[in-house]
Every structure is written in C-alpha cells, then in structure tokens.
C-alpha cells in the first residue's frame, strides 16, 4: 500500500479546505480557466532542477505529459516525487514498527520543508486529512502512528 502527500503553491499564500475540494472536483480537467485555479501553474522540469539542487542523488524519470518523476536512489525505500503542472505528490510505502519508517518519513519531510521554504508549497496529507504550510515534527509523528495502526490490520493473520 502506498502513502501519498500532495504539495501545492496556493495563489493566495494559503491553502484552504475549499481549495482542496475544488482541486478534487476539477483538478483533472483541462477546460478550467486559469483564474479559477486556486494553485499556481508550475513547470515540472524547473521544479525538478530545484529539487536536484537539494538532493543531486535523485534520479529523474520522464513521466507522461511533460511531468517528471524523481526517484530516491535507494529503491528499497520506495520514495518517488511526482512533479506535475500544479504540484508535487510524494509517494512512499506504508511501513510500521520500523526504524525505516522514521527514516523514510524524515527524508520525505525534508523535501516538504525545502519546497515550503524555497517555493511556498503547502502540503496536504489525505490519509490524515491534515493541511499544513510546512509539516513539523507533530505531523511526522501522526503519520508514523497512522502507519503503525493501519499496516498490522493489512497483514494476513
């Protein structure tokens, strides 16, 4: 099972639940006027270059439609940053009761904090329904606790 965190740059400087609802309803549509979008349009390749300045070990991969994937160099950790024209989605596997879960979360939250500081990205964790301008230790711990609670239920008894 894959965990995901969505990152967006709101046009107004803050992201609200109403904006996320609009994105959920219209985010896949190409016929919405730019004025209706609550988040900025991005250039995935330029964003990839910015992230590669932070971590030059990331492995860029072409994705459909001009999007870019950045893979963490240790494939066993399963971290992928998917950069599209409206934001970034960070994917990583659910893990529980493991030092690796804290390592993976620490790496992901380093990217999240960097994107907030460098470009004003806000994050949304759909699993926890948490919206944040910059994830902090509490969000990291809540994510780890959620994985600890969910993963054992998914394993065969």
> pLDDT tens-digit profile of 23-39?
999 988 889 999 999 99
pLDDT computed for residue 86 by the predictor: 95
Q: In this structure, which long-range contacts are made by residues 24-30, counting pairs with CB atoms below 8 Å and at least 24 apart in sequence? A: 27/86
pLDDT computed for residue 148 by the predictor: 62
Give me the domains of the chain, ranges plus CATH numbers.
2-151 (3.30.310)
pLDDT computed for residue 100 by the predictor: 74
- Write down the pTM of the prediction: 0.85
The whole-angstrom separation of Cα 131 and Cα 151 is: 23
> pLDDT tens-digit profile of 99-128?
677 788 889 989 998 999 999 999 888 887
> pLDDT tens-digit profile of 3-21?
899 999 999 988 899 999 9
């Amino acid at each position: 099972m894959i965990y995901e965190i969505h990152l967006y740059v709101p046009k107004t400087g803050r992201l609200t639940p109403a904006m996320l609802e609009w994105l959920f309803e219209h985010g896949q549509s190409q016929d919405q006027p730019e004025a209706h979008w609550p988040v900025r349009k991005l250039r995935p390749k330029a964003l990839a270059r910015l992230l590669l300045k932070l971590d030059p070990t990331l492995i860029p991969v072409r994705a459909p439609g001009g999007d870019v994937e950045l893979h963490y160099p240790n494939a066993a950790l399963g971290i992928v940053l998917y950069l599209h024209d409206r934001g970034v989605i960070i994917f990583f596997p659910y893990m529980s009761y493991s030092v690796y879960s804290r390592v993976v979360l620490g790496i992901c939250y380093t990217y999240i904090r960097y994107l907030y500081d460098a470009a004003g990205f806000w994050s949304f964790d759909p699993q926890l329904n948490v919206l944040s301008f910059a994830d902090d230790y509490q969000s990291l711990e809540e994510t780890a606790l959620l994985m600890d609670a969910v993963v054992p239920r998914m394993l065969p008894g």
